[in-house]
Amino acid sequence: MTKSQFILIAAFGSFALLAGAFLFQFSGYAPCQMCLWQRYPHAVAVVIGLLALILTRFQTQLAILGALAALTTGAIGVYHTGVERDWWEGPSSCTGGGGLNLTDPLSTDIAPIVMCDDVVWSLLGLSMASYNALISLVLAGLWIKAALR
């Protein structure tokens, strides 16, 4: 496979994970704060992928940045998984154990508040955060493979 093909697959992987996250959200699974944090590096990876396919002269450098974006969201996913499984504490503003840090506790906004330590969906014992971590690490490997081509 060529460098461009690895980049295309890695960037599309981040796009697919983002699309899946939005599909779950629109299906009624509201994201917690850490779920939202995991989306930003994927969006960055998609943009990096597009730039790398356009600016072919800088593909190696951009592939390294893509790998960093994928590793970042993967690391957040690992952290989030640990919070869900009570391996360590999460941010007090986002977990059931700490007090909520709401900017307006009297707000009439009825959007659901999702705690970061609650697993709202799982498959084969793995949460969405766990799947994000695993898939993101594979995507990071693809980015690294592209950088080494």
pLDDT by residue (tens digit) across 57-115?
Answer: 999 999 999 999 999 999 999 999 999 998 998 888 787 654 444 455 444 455 567 88
Return the pLDDT at 49.
97
Q: What is the Cα 115 distance to its own chain's centre?
A: 17
Return the pLDDT at 52.
96
Instruction: Write the CA distances from 52 to 8, 58, 63, 125, 128, integer angstroms.
Output: 9, 7, 7, 36, 28
Position 139 confidence tier, pLDDT thresholds 50, 70, 90: very high
Q: Does residue 102 form part of some domain?
A: no
Are 112 and 30 spatial neighbours (Cβ–Cβ below 8 Å)? yes
Across the chain, mean pLDDT equals 88
Question: Does an H or E element contain 127, and which?
Answer: strand 126-127
DSSP state of 88: S
Q: Does residue 73 form part of some domain?
A: yes
Q: Does residue 49 form part of some domain?
A: yes
130-149 mean pLDDT: 96
pLDDT digits (tens, 9 = 90+) for 32-54: 889 999 999 999 999 999 999 99
Q: Does the structure show a pLDDT above 60 at 132?
A: yes
Residue 17 makes CB contacts below 8 A (sequence gap 6+) with: 42, 132, 135, 136
Q: Does residue 137 form part of some domain?
A: yes
Q: Does residue 28 form part of some domain?
A: yes
Q: Does residue 41 form part of some domain?
A: yes
Q: What is the Cα 134 distance to its own chain's centre?
A: 10
Return the pLDDT at 108.
46
Return the pLDDT at 101.
44
Q: Does residue 103 form part of some domain?
A: no
* Structure tokens, 12: 């599309």
Question: Does an H or E element contain 25, and which?
Answer: helix 3-26
Count: domains in the chain: 1
Q: Which domain holds residue 11?
A: 3-86+114-148
Position 117 confidence tier, pLDDT thresholds 50, 70, 90: confident
